Structure 1
Amino acid sequence: MFEDFRSKLNEKVMTKLESWLDTLIEMLPAMVMALLVLIVFFGIGKLVRKAVHKILSKATMNKTVIDLLETIAGILVVGVGIFIALGVLNLDGAVTSLLAGAGIVGLALGFAFQDIASNFISGIILTLRHPFGIGDIIETKDIYGTVRKLNLRNTILQTPQGQIVYIPNKIVFENPLTNFTAEGQRRIDLACGVSYGDDLKKVRKLAVEAIEELDNYNSDRDILFFFEEFGGSSVNFKICFWVNFRTNPDFLDMRSEAIMALKQKFDENDIMIPFPIRTLDFGIRGGEKLDTMLAGPVNGDTNGSEG
């Protein structure tokens, strides 16, 4: 009995092996074709990666972004080759299952990591558009500082006080951004005031001369001078001029020099920058003198106390 069982088992195994061998022989041409497809697409993938690297190297110097996009392009090409190879092997059902699974996984990951994906895509766009570079001074979302690094998730700034700030790329991309160093120059708007007794034409002439005597202002651009208002104790004006700008001290030093030059010029020509003046009014209805208020009730006051 045992011999019969072993004989039948051997017969079934041999039959199965022969079936597999026949299937393998039948599929051998398709397998060779699928293998050739994979080899060809691996080669195409390498060529595509080199082409992407060459193109992106002209658009950006960010090696992280270049490597990432180069890798994605290569994977996409190889992925197409894999699906074609499965089709050659008549594994259409497997292809359909893989595509459906990839779609579901992609949808789930999209919901789970949408912020990361947004920052990632924003980082790529910022790198390609290049609205600022390393070392530029920018302001976005009320954060002002020097760009130290741009990666695929954050833009890293250093504030004038020395703090390091990590700003998600999505915020930088979606909000207004001011690049102070893009043009290589910046305007200083300096406000001041003079007394009502001064000659305003003389004031304007002296203020412009004070700025023109500075060493580092940009003489290629006009100095602008405007009287703005009649203030409480002064006639207020604003003088505007341009300076070459790459770092914060370029702006701060020139503004400080301009304040000192303006004060010195006015002092030398007897132009007064007045202190704020306050007029104090006494009494319930106003118009009372201070000594009268301090003296107390006047004679005949019915509310005074009797002796």
Structure 2
Amino acid sequence: MDFSIAWQKLNAMGRSFMAILPNLLIGVVVLVVFVFIARAVRSLVQRFTASRHQSLTLLLSRLAYVFVLILGVLVMFTIMIPSFTPTSLLSALGVGGVAIGFAFKDIFQNFLAGVLLLLTEPFRINDQIKYKDFEGTVETIQTRATTIKTYDGRRVVIPNAELFINAVTVNTAYDKRRLQYDIGIGYGDDIEKARQLILEAVKSVADIMSDPAPEALVVELADSTVNIRARWWINPPRRADYMNSQDAVLTAIKNKLTEAGIDLPFPTQQILFHDQTEVTDGNRKQQREGWPAGSGDVPQSRAQAQQEQREKHAEQQRQLADNKAEPLQLPESTEQPQPEPRPAQGGKNDSAG
């Protein structure tokens, strides 16, 4: 076998490798330099963003580190392979980039929304927020999603794009929070007296702010009540403080109004049953339509008919009892009295002699 051709090829490859070896070494050195630069940039970003949110600091430092590393890799390939240029790489990735963009559209959207949320900081970790049907405390703000812990101990993961596009209520955005509740009193009660009692009850509860002062406003004349809205402020505004304050205030208001004799009406319902099956027995149409309007008497219900039967039976029993209690009287006799017999007159033998 002739190994000369193989040897020539190996020799050519060796010469080519030795020719590009300096470029390889220079490229590796450049990459190492860029690694140190990336670390330095990350430290600078962390130092300048230390006063901001921890998640934002971590995100920006990582982004800066990755960006510098990618730049170093591109420079390294340019040195090692002179024919390689970043423009050729971008053109090669152009078609594939479009496909990747469509495939990872939601991921990129959530990533960008997470970056914007961390930059703008509409809410932070440990804030209590409400989004649609979810309400709880923010645990983490990541690049893809935000996690909150609900008040009943569940974790909810919400995509950042949802939080960035839709409305979110931040309950702890400010240091204080206003609470309110409507109390209904009777129409016969004194409104001013009730308002004064409500204010006294609210002010008697601890941790109620005096500035702004509590208020009691008439807000509605309802069907059976005059509604007075009690409003007061608390600090801090977290969920536990909200519930404790509302419990104490409502208890104090109820006790205060009850002691003063203020009526607290509540809605009642009266259900009337009209049984017409006896009168309309067999007539399904009349049973479905009900009794037509007219000037005649309304037929009695079954309950009324049974009550009348019981009363009639009781009356008959009373009459029978009264008849038994009366003494029996015999009818007078119509015979004529018999005359008394006359004594017999004496004969001749009865004379004195």
TM-score by length of 2: 0.67
Q: Distance in 2 between matches of 1:56 and 1:105?
A: 36
State the alpha-carbon separation in 2 of the partners of residues 67 and 101 from structure 1.
32
How far is the alpha carbon of 1:284 from its aligned partner?
7.7
Q: Is contact 1:37-1:85 (8 Å) kept? A: yes
2:158 is paired with a residue whose SS is strand
Equivalent in 35, 42, 46 of residue 35 of structure 2: 42
Decide whether the 8 Å contact of 1:223 with 1:241 is kept in 2.
Answer: yes
Asked if structure 2 preserves the Cα contact closer than 8 Å seen for 1:141 and 1:175, the reply is no
Relative to structure 1, is the Cα distance of residues 44 and 157 closer, same or farther in structure 2, using a 3 angstrom cutoff?
closer
- One-letter amino acid matched to 1:202: K
* AA aligned opposite 2:40: L
Aligned to 1:299: none
> What is the alpha-carbon distance in structure 2 between the residues aligned to residue 88 and residue 153 of structure 1?
36
Please list, as runs of the form range in 1=range in 2, the aligned pairs for 1:190-201 lying within 5 A after superposition.
190-201=181-192
Q: Distance in 2 between matches of 1:19 and 1:269?
A: 105
User: Within the alignment, does 1:237 sit opposite 2:228 as a pair?
Assistant: yes
Counterpart code for 2:51: K
Q: Using the TM superposition, give the Cα deviation of residue 129 of structure 1 relative to its aligned residue in structure 2, in angstroms.
A: 2.9
Which of the pair has the greater relative contact order for Cα pairs under 8 Å at 6+ separation? 1
Alpha-carbon distance, 1:113 to partner? 2.0
Distance in structure 2 (CA, Å) of the matches to 1:280 and 1:85:
88
Aligned residue runs from structure 1 range 1-307, under 5 A: 5=2, 9=4, 13-14=7-8, 17=11, 21=15, 24-25=18-19, 34-62=27-55, 66-67=57-58, 69-88=60-79, 91-93=82-84, 95-276=86-267
Deviation at 1:30, TM superposition (A): 5.3
- The 1:259/1:278 distance shift into structure 2, 3 A limit, reads same
Residues matched between the structures, number: 284
1:253-303 Cα distance to aligned partner (Å, 9 max, x none): 221222221122222222211233669999988xxxx9x99979xxxxxxx
User: In the superposition, relative to structure 1, how do residues 269 and 35 fare at CA in structure 2: closer, same or farther (>3 Å)?
Assistant: closer
Q: Which moved more, 1:121-130 or 1:135-144?
A: 121-130
Structure 1 position 57, deviation (Å): 3.2
Deviation at 1:216, TM superposition (A): 2.0
Q: Distance in 1 between matches of 2:205 and 2:155?
A: 34
Given the two structures, how large is their TM-score scaled by the length of structure 1?
Answer: 0.76
Asked if 2 retains the 8 angstrom alpha-carbon contact of 1:232 and 1:277, the reply is no
Gaps of 5+ in 2: 275-290, 306-353
Shift of 1:223: 1.5
Following superposition, the deviation at residue 234 of structure 1 comes to 1.5
* Counterparts of 2:207 and 2:125, CA distance in 1: 25
CA RMSD of aligned residues (A): 3.6
Amino acid at match of 2:49: L
Contact map agreement 1:59 1:128 (CA 8 A) in 2: no
Larger radius of gyration between Structure 1 and Structure 2: 2
Give the gaps of 5 or more residues in structure 1. Answer: 297-307
Instruction: Say whether the 8 Å CA contact 2:53–2:124 is kept in structure 1.
Output: no
- Distance, in Å, in 2 between the alignment partners of 1:28 and 1:164 is 55
My pick for the range that moved more, 117-126 or 14-23, is: 14-23
Report the Cα distance in structure 1 between the residues aligned to 2:24 and 2:9, rounded to whole angstroms. 23
